[in-house]
């Protein structure tokens, strides 16, 4: 009797595990847990968060987790936009690193004018933020027009800004390397007296706004519809070109905010090295979040968890003393494995087994 019970329990456990492993969030969360586990093994005090004091004496939160949450800001914000672009246009924007450089250049020019070491800001920070976002949106609109109006593959269309972006950023700054006044640094570091890093607050705000927009507006539905079949969606009265254009504009806005936070971190911008190879990280985060890179359905929560996972991986590789330039090697291998798992070829091997077992069990509701 007890034996039978045990067997039932293990069966149930196995089926629960099976269902879990098929859940969309399984891959990102399992990978994140795995990375955190390795980190704890390397450094037992990894998860500790403590309250310390910075050089001016105001309280700040210190700890590896806080660092990861803080540094992931740009990645998370860009991933939100990229998930929408991937879903609607069935391709990725590879120009985001370059457009962040343009935004950084514009913000620096607005704040510093033609001086290299201004003692005070030349314009209110709000104006800089707005102009930065405007620059980002302009870049997004440029890509969006090429993709939606001229029907160019997204990756080819964004190749143009991918090439020119960092040079345009340098041009926006007039070839100077100015350093803005310290008050601009509040948005990338700490507001004096408040212990939580400001980027974390910005990220939370961005996530809340995004999830609210996806829940309350038709953005999510329309994006999916266009991504799955744009002809069918156009027969249903949607305008696929407009939806694609809008997702690129939203990504442009995300680039604007990310560029603002990034340039505020050290109050200076080197257009040629700012956020190096972030396009790779963002695409990896989208893929890791369980989204198909071929468009259609998307899972925003998965993408956000994926972005944090990537940041954990990056900081882990940095603590292991891997050269910054060599970090992409590991990410490239992981992205290849992740995308390879999603391919129809390998999937068909897996799905065939599942449907057979389901057929024998008499429950044939498994569908691609």
Partner 1 sequence: MNYRKHNLSFWSKLKRGESLTDSVFLLTITVSLFIAIYALSIIFLGDKGFSKIQMFFNLFNENAALIVIACGLSIVMITGSIDISVGGSTALICTACIVCLNNYNFNFVTTLILALGIGLVFGAVQGFLIAYLEMQPFIVTLAGMFLGRGLVALVEVNQIQVDNAGFEMLSGARILIPFLGDINKKGVFIQSKLEYGVIVAIIIVCLMFWILRKTNLGRSFYAVGGNSHSALLLGINVKRTRFHAHLLCGLLAGIGGFLYLFHTRSGSVQQATGLEMDAIAASIIGGTLLTGGVGNIFGTLFGVLTSGIVLLVVTAIGSQDPWWPQITRAAMLCFFIVLQSVICSRKKK
Given the rule CB under 8 A, which of 29-37, 54-62, 204-212, 328-336 is the region that contacts partner 1? Answer: 328-336
**Of residues 20, 42, 329, 354, which one binds partner 1 by CB under 8 A?**
329
CB of 98 to partner 1, least distance (A): 10
Question: Which of 234, 239, 268, 277 forms a contact with partner 1 (CB under 8 A)?
Answer: 277
Q: Are 79 and 285 in contact (CB under 8 A)?
A: yes
321 binding partner 1? (CB under 8 A): no
94 Cβ contact partners less than 8 Å away, ≥ 6 residues apart: 155, 158, 159, 162, 279, 283
The Cα 62–Cα 54 span in angstroms is 10
**28 close to 290: Cβ distance less than 8 angstroms:** yes
**Which of residues 94, 131, 206, 288 is near partner 1 by CB under 8 A?**
94
CA angle, 187 as apex, 182 and 193 as ends, to 5°? 80
Region of 53-61, 308-316, 343-351, 354-362 interacting with partner 1 (CB under 8 A): 343-351
Reduce the DSSP state of residue 174 to 3 states and report it.
Answer: coil
Q: Which of 38, 130, 159, 200 is the binder for partner 1 (CB under 8 A)?
A: 159
326 binds partner 1 (CB under 8 A): yes
Site string for partner 1, 34-73 (x = CB under 8 A): ----------------------------------------
Residue in 45, 117, 323, 360 binding partner 1, rule: CB under 8 A = 323
Does position 96 interact with partner 1 (CB under 8 A)? The reply is no
- Give the residue, chosen from 333, 354, 356, 359, that forms a contact with partner 1 under the rule CB under 8 A: 333
Helix spans in the chain (H)? 2-22, 26-42, 64-71, 73-89, 96-112, 125-148, 154-172, 198-216, 219-228, 230-235, 240-266, 278-288, 300-319, 327-342, 344-361
**Residue 6 touches partner 1, criterion: CB under 8 A:** no
Structural contact between residues 126 and 186, judged by C-beta atoms closer than 8 angstroms: no
Q: In whole angstroms, what separates CA 360 from the centre of its chain?
A: 42
The torsion of the CA quartet 140, 78, 285, 293, rounded to 10 degrees, works out to: -20
Q: Which residues form the interface with partner 1 (CB under 8 A)?
A: 91-92, 94, 146, 150-153, 155-157, 159-164, 166-168, 170-171, 175, 277, 279-280, 283, 287, 293-294, 323-333, 335-336, 339-340, 343-346
């Amino acid at each position: 009797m007890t034996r039978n019970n045990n067997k039932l329990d293990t069966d149930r456990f196995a089926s629960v595990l099976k269902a879990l492993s098929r859940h969309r969030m399984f891959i990102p969360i399992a990978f994140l847990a795995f990375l955190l586990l390795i980190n704890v093994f390397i450094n037992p005090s990894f998860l500790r968060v403590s309250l310390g004091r910075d050089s001016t004496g105001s309280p700040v939160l210190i700890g590896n987790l806080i660092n990861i949450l803080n540094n992931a800001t740009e990645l998370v914000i860009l991933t939100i936009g990229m998930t929408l672009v991937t879903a609607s246009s069935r391709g990725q924007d590879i120009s985001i690193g370059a457009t962040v450089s343009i935004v950084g250049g514009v913000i620096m020019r607005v704040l510093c004018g033609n001086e290299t070491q201004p003692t005070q800001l030349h314009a209110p920070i709000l104006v800089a933020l707005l102009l930065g976002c405007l620059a980002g949106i302009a870049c997004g609109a440029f890509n969006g027009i090429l993709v939606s109006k001229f029907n160019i593959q997204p990756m080819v269309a964004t190749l143009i800004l991918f090439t020119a972006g960092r040079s345009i950023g340098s041009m926006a700054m007039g070839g100077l390397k100015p350093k803005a006044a310290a008050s601009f640094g509040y948005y990338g570091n700490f507001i004096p007296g408040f212990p939580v890093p400001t980027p974390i607050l910005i990220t939370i705000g961005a996530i809340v706004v995004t999830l609210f927009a996806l829940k309350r507006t038709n953005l999510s539905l329309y994006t999916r519809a266009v991504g799955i079949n744009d002809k069918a969606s156009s027969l249903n009265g949607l305008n696929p070109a407009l939806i694609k254009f809008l997702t690129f504009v939203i990504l442009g806005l995300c680039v604007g905010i990310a560029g603002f936070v990034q340039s505020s971190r050290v109050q200076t911008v080197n257009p040629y090295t700012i956020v190096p190879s972030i396009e790779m990280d963002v695409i990896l985060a989208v893929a890791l979040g369980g989204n198909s890179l071929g468009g259609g359905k998307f899972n925003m929560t998965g993408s956000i968890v994926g972005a944090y996972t990537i940041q954990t991986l990056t900081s882990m590789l940095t603590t292991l003393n891997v050269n910054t330039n060599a970090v992409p090697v590991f990410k490239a291998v992981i992205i290849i494995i992740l995308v390879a798992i999603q391919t129809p070829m390998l999937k068909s091997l897996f799905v065939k087994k599942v449907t057979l077992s389901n057929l024998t069990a008499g429950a044939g509701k498994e569908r691609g």
